[in-house]
Amino acid sequence: MSHLVAPSLLAADFGNLQLDIEMVNNSLADWFHVDVMDGVFVPNLSVGTPVIKVIKRYAKKPMDVHLMIIDPGRYISHFKDLGADILTVHYEACTHLHGTIQQIKEQGMKAGVSLNPHTPVKLLEEVLSDLDLVLIMSVNPGFGGQSFIPGTLEKIRKLDELKKKHRLNFEIEVDGGVTLDNAESLVRAGVTVLVAGNTVFSSDDPVGTIKKLKELK
């Protein structure tokens, strides 16, 4: 199965956001990855409602929204209204994770759960059959441009083993420090969605970089 590529708009040039969105539209990328941070769950703030409206206005590909916020269940219908196609919440931010997953699905979106670097994949085993996506954070969430945490590869392999054991079809997404140097090993470990921010948007040839990420075997 071919993997997907989701450029992270956290690394885009917000002074020329429409141009960067159109670049992704015209590339081999599959999704737009949009990070939402509240300054509480993670020590940073990111895009808010007005920016997401702009992204949705110009994006011609699915919007993959990653909520790094406390109490995400309160805002599920809000992000549906903003146009999210995939909505991912953090395991660490949800008191009633199963209920939050069901709320996302009831709104007609695909449901994802993200794990911080310290959180083991085995904690998701009881809800994996309800998920469309599991997002493995390969850096500590909150800031772009961090280096990849090497132990993430083994974590991805464990998740892929659970996926095969239970014969499930959820996407395995990885976010943080993804480069042309490590992307192939990530795909071989079981990743089906590569999120790349600085690697794409700091490149001299973003379209070409996306193509290289997409064509990895």
Which residues carry out catalysis? 35, 175
Exposure string for 151-183, b = 16+ CB within 10 A, e = fewer: ebbebbebbbebbeeeeeebbbbbbbbbeeebb
Q: In 47-90, which ranges are continuous DSSP H helix?
A: 49-58, 76-82
CA terminus-to-terminus distance, the chain: 10
CA distance linking residue 34 with residue 52, whole number of Å: 8
23: left (phi over 0), alpha (psi -120 to 50) or beta: alpha
Location of structure tokens 């406390």: 70
